[in-house]
Amino acid sequence: MFQYFSWYYPADGSLWEDVKTNAQNLANLGVNSVWLPPAYKGTQGGMSSGYDVYDIYDLGEFDQKGSVRTKFGTKQQYKEAVESLHKAGIQVYVDIVLNHRGGGDETEKVTVRKVDPENRNNFISDAFEIEAFTKFTFPGRQGQYSQFVWDFRCFSDVDYAKDKEETAIFSIANEYGDGWQEVIDSEKGNYDFLMFADVEFRNSSVREELKRWGEWYLKEIGFDGVRLDAVKHITPAFYNEWLDHMRSIKDDLFAVGEYWAPGELPLLQKYIDATQRRMSLFDASLHHNFYHASNEGNNFDLRKILDNSLVQADPALAVTVVDNHDTQPLQALEAPVEKWFKPLAYALILLREAGYPCIFHPDLYGAHYVDKGNDGNDHEIFLDKCPHIDELLLARKLYAYGLQRDYFDHANCIGWTREGISEVENSGCAILLSNGDEGFKHMEIGKQHAGKTFNDLLKQHPATVTIDENGWGEFHVSPGSVSVWISSQ
């Protein structure tokens, strides 16, 4: 899978055209699916990355929020990008953001109680009235595709009182009560609320409208799967209902959820149970293992690199990542993997049999951006392309097949082999990682490789390895690097 965007992609409407241009190149690299960013109009129109969603029916077609196009282009360009990916044999996963709405068109008077942001089960005021932006009429669209009007009954909470010019968490008293919806995570007491006007999924009219929208979106764009945003803040019962409905139309619809809880594997497993294995999840715990390993250098025990990860506990539902848009510098979940370790991390997700690896856009194409940090100052950041990413993708495509044997037996040097399969000529490889000094390992790759000479595809180590009659070889790795040994015959 390839994540075709980052937070700092230029807001010039060029992304859909870039996707169209690069579709075949991605296919040549072995990419089978592309995750595209939220394609609908956000609160800042052409400047929004889409997660501050305003109108999910506006895919860059209507003059709303100061722009017709979205940050990424027009609806027509979007459709052409999807068509180009499909033509190249690549599936398309669309980003679904249903937790909240922002940029309401009108205010309504609503009765609320203020909530303690650190313990949302604790109300810190009596009931009172505020003016909140809870009415969405989408005047630029004028009822095209859907005449549904969102009002305060469609939301459980808001974060802004216009009349008081106050930002806080305000729980709305409506027919569903002023309590929280049931979610998995008990962080902050209950983590239902995330931002803006929080969608009330207990409202059956809301659920039906979102199912109608899902049908419309699938018909308009013809996507193959969905990436579900912020699922830790949404009751699992909703996505059970919504995915079942969508799969009644497209039975092979792929789904991956973003439940970002680093180091909290039991929460990921609890969510998987609550959704009865209806979706995969991004392996946030594995990402944070990579993050810590990249910062601790040779003090990190590589034998533990997969510990408490979803790919180790439930590989069939693990989508593995090295970095993503939320872990980039200056983001709230900032935890970027250091450059030196990225090739090692990508080897771990690309060249092992378990998991569904996802490549991040800047790691393949690089990035340069300027953005404000928490100190209010502009920061210029360069993200280089991940070293050896092309060769690692090639290794996955051509060599990383067959039986896997692990050699996680040294704190600073680990390895594994893939025996290869008869259906893929010259397949099979041996991988060695070091976060310290130069290392070597005696590893078995299979008797069918006896007498073959192996070289390092990444050219990180100059040695050659001859496989003995029993299918074993002594493989080497340079300090702080990864080597991928492949047959030269």
List active site positions. 229, 258
Using alpha carbons, select from 165, 168, 275, 264 the residue that is nearest to residue 231: 275
CA distance 406 to 318: 19
| Torsion angle of the four alpha carbons 325, 331, 332, 334, in this order, in degrees rounded to the nearest 10 | 80
CA dist 103 and 106 (Å) reads 9
434 neighbors 413 (Cβ within 8 angstroms): yes
The 10 Å CB-count burial string (b at 16+, else e) for 158-172 is: bbbbeeeeeebbbbb
- What phi and psi, each to the nearest 5 degrees, are found at residue 77? -65, -35
Distance of alpha carbon 87 from alpha carbon 397, whole angstroms: 19
Compute φ and ψ for 358, nearest 5 degrees.
-125, 125
Strand, coil or helix: 155: strand
Token couple for 444:
């078995």
3-class SS of residue 430: strand
Quick one: 380 exposed, middle or buried, by C-beta within 10 A (0-12, 13-18, 19+)? exposed
